[in-house]
Structure 1
Amino acid sequence: MKIGSVIKCVIYVFVFFAFAKAYTQESQLDYLSRQEAVRQMLENNFGIKLANNQVSVAENNTSILNSNYLPTVFGLAGANFDRTSSNTDFNGALDQNGNPRPDFEILDAETTRYDASINASYTLFDGLGRYYNYKQLKERYNLSQLEARETIENTMLQLFSVYYEVARIEENLNVLRDALEISKERETRASYQFEYGQVNKLEILNAQVDIVTDSINILNTQQQLRNAQRDLNVVLARELEDLKSTDTTLVFLNELVMESYVEKAKSNNVSLLQAEQDIVITDYEIKKTKGLFLPTIGLTGSYGWNLSNNPASAFFPGTTRTSNTLAAGASLRWNLFDGGQSVVGLKNAKIALDSQQLLKEQLEQQVYRDIANAEGNYKNALAIYRLQEQNVITNQANFERSQERFKLGQVTSIEFRQAQLNLLNAQTTKNAAKYTAKLAEIQLLQLTGQLLNVDF
């Protein structure tokens, strides 16, 4: 057998076994659409579940059961037992017959007492403290919803970063496979030409080297793809080895629509909305503190039952006493002076409100900067993608022209390979530019507060 045939067989065996397992796994991959990925993320992601739990806690806190508007009712019950032995000395006192009275001894005299009551208290007025506290809890619930929304937006940005990374690698993998097929065809053509004496052995060896290079590139890319797919499964909280294929088609939003989103960013950005909620909550804190200067008026009531069994004594016979008691009352408490704590608390609450307003102004400046940068990055990335699309068309035409000339023997295999590599680089660069532009669009949507309002 010729040396060239041996080398060719070795290469084909290497390629076959290297790709056999990878191709088998990829053929079993299921397709995961963007909509399905978002659905699974919302249902399974651990961070989102934790954020939803915080919302549930805040919602429970807004219940009437946590408002201090309902009365307090409690029951009391008790039982007492007493066993006493006593001796009474009358110190020479005479009885009705004129005789000295004997000592009166009582052994193990038992006394039992039972009581039970139901008590209720209700605050009619507490300086509006509970009213503003209830309002504050409502605003904290709204704030928790905004915090959950921020968590969802950040997780969605993370999701699409990984999702589009899988898509980019899949597209690159297809490009590399096409390059491998071209190298195989080149090697086959060179083998036929060598048999007929049209080329020397170097052409076959060059093609075989390129086949190995393309095969190694595919293996590395396949491993990158599996790693990215596992990263995607982590975000979705899915089984790590349940690898999925993604959607590589992209549609960019209309520029006029995006501009309208940017104009409305102030009223939709989740960070600014949270800052506004913080101001409202702090304002209610001031109103609560002012309530400390007002009186508190309350009502109390109780109904009680008592039973007492008393043993006989030296002077009285044993008795059993039962009583029922109904009581009601009103109270007023007014702290005329509490050492100045209320005054200090009010001053600090006003300072806290001023600080929240300053933080909001600072945040507004940062958000507007981030939006301006994100908008510029998006437009720049989109323009680069358009240029890269044109670059692929140019390199494709150059490759096809080089391929025709290569078949006619007008260019060398090295020149043909260079044209092939130029096309390969242009295609992978275009893929990277496409997903970079899409991620820039998603980041801009997040900053404008529209990420959850757009269909993917």
Structure 2
Amino acid sequence: MKIKPYILMNFLLFSLFGHAQEILNKEEAIKLTLEHNYGIKIAKNSIEVAENNSDVLNSGYLPTLTGNAGASIDKQDTEGSLSNGDTRIANGAETRRYSASVNLNYTLFDGLGRLYNYRRLKEEHQLSELEARETIENTILQLFTVYYSVAELSENNTALKETMTISKDRLTRAGYQFDYGQNTKLEVLNAEVDINNDSINLINAEQLLRNTKRDLNVILGNQLNQDFDVDTDVNFLFQLDKTDLLEKTKTNNVTLLQAEKNIAISQLDIKTNKAQYLPTVGLVGSYGWNESTNNSPLAFVLQNTTTGVSAGLNLSWNLFDGGTTITRVKNAQINLENQKLLKEQLLVEIERNFNNAWDDYQNKLVIYQVQENNIKTAQNNFERTQEKFKIGQVTSIEFRQAQLNLLNAELSRNQAKYDAKLAELNVLQLSGELLNVQI
């Protein structure tokens, strides 16, 4: 009887994949992702850059202060004639000069250009925060897409193992029946073929599960150093209201919020360019020290030292720059109009996407309920077929078909469950509520 090798193979297979592992729950997965995901880290760094750019140190409101210092030495041969006719010669006369100064430059008025630019930097900082939020939302959605893929594959593997157990029992029964002359060798061979197919399916499913877990670990920032399982429980937010979520979509959708920020930035660009029409008034000041020494006998003063403060105002007014400023203002106004049109387009598209996502969510919930009921029917059919198979009232082919029907029903139910949950998350993301609810 050729049963023991198959029993041994299945025992080893279950031993390999059936050991208990650490459970990675949803809360821990979100925590690890927010802390260690590389895309989120980069987004947070971008916020810091935008925050630095929006600081007063980058606003142009503060004065500039520079220091200068210098020293020089001259050696010259000099010959000079006096009024009485005498001639004096100075060979190697040395002149030394030293200087130091502190200079202040401050713009008092630049047509309010600095003000509008400073406000623009603040808007860009807020825009970078929205972009980071979009990155986080997309990453969280990606996280749960892979997380639920692992959960689905885990449940599929459980179903495949149960199918393997049933096939193993069938092979054992067929072997005993053949030994006692109750059936032919064909029944044993059919059972062996089916258990081999089930083994291959399980091996492939386990490999796919391991690969998907690696994908999940990448999203987590490669923080898990050992194998793990995930939580397969799914809770649906049946209290969601379509009208309420649609209103939140129009006010909280991160893409629309970014469009509003781009409109605000474009309005400030127009004001910044118009500021070029006005004059610029600046304040300059300096404090300096100069000293020079001359050992030439021809020099009237051997050493000279000066110190002093100077200050002044300057005005600069570009009366006409060839039309460059006029062109920039016109282009900025056109860009503002484009940003407004883009927001209107986004509003139409996002409302459509929300309605599609909501209908998809409702349909997937119905499909999930249908698949749950189908499981009960398939389970009832299999149990009855199994009882009849044990007393010889159905063939092995009919029994196998009932077994496969139950397996396919379980696999379809698993897929429907996680498809419905992901559809729910997609609705939440569109409405801007993904980060505000308990998933």
TM-score (norm 2): 0.95
Count matched residues: 439
2:4 corresponds, among 9, 12, 16, to 9
- Counterpart residue number, 1:159: 143
CA pair 145-431 structure 1, distance change in 2 beyond 3 A: same
What is the distance in 2 between the residues matched to 1:193 and 1:419?
21
What is the distance in 2 between the residues matched to 1:225 and 1:349?
53
1:62-101 to 2 correspondence within 5 Å?
62-89=54-81, 95=84, 101=86
What is the distance in 2 between the residues matched to 1:9 and 1:239?
42
Instruction: Report how far residue 79 of structure 1 moved.
Output: 0.9
The yes-or-no answer on 1:401 pairing with 2:384 is yes
1:22-171 to 2 correspondence within 5 Å?
22-23=16-17, 27=19, 29-89=21-81, 95=84, 101=86, 103-171=87-155
Amino acid of the residue matched to residue 192 of structure 2? Q
What is the distance in 2 between the residues matched to 1:118 and 1:318?
27
What is the distance in 2 between the residues matched to 1:53 and 1:396?
54
Gaps of 5+ in 2: none
Query: Is this contact kept in 2: 1:163–1:246, CA < 8 A?
Result: yes
SS for the counterpart of 1:256 is: coil
* Bigger mean CA deviation after superposition, 70-79 or 277-286: 70-79
The yes-or-no answer on 1:364 pairing with 2:347 is yes
Amino acid of the residue matched to residue 145 of structure 1? E
What is the distance in 1 between the residues matched to 2:347 and 2:67?
55
1:169-248 to 2 correspondence within 5 Å?
169-238=153-222, 242-248=226-232
1:415-454 to 2 correspondence within 5 Å?
415-454=398-437
What is the distance in 1 between the residues matched to 2:66 and 2:370?
77
What is the distance in 1 between the residues matched to 2:226 and 2:357?
34
1:346-365 to 2 correspondence within 5 Å?
346-365=329-348
What is the distance in 2 between the residues matched to 1:61 and 1:52?
14
Query: Is this contact kept in 2: 1:306–1:323, CA < 8 A?
Result: yes
What is the distance in 2 between the residues matched to 1:259 and 1:11?
58
SS for the counterpart of 1:48 is: helix
Instruction: Report how far residue 196 of structure 1 moved.
Output: 3.9
TM-score (norm 1): 0.92
SS for the counterpart of 1:323 is: strand
Amino acid of the residue matched to residue 64 of structure 1? V
SS for the counterpart of 1:87 is: strand
- Counterpart residue number, 2:303: 320
CA distances 1:101-132 after superposition (whole Å, capped 9, x unpaired)? 3x311111110111111111211111110001
Query: Is this contact kept in 2: 1:126–1:291, CA < 8 A?
Result: yes
Query: Is this contact kept in 2: 1:230–1:243, CA < 8 A?
Result: no
Give me the CA root mean square deviation.
1.8
Amino acid of the residue matched to residue 14 of structure 1? M
SS for the counterpart of 2:62 is: coil
Gaps of 5+ in 1: none
Amino acid of the residue matched to residue 383 of structure 2? E
1:226-305 to 2 correspondence within 5 Å?
226-238=210-222, 242-257=226-241, 259-305=243-289
2:313 corresponds, among 325, 330, 343, to 330
What is the distance in 2 between the residues matched to 1:333 and 1:181?
90
What is the distance in 2 between the residues matched to 1:272 and 1:406?
62
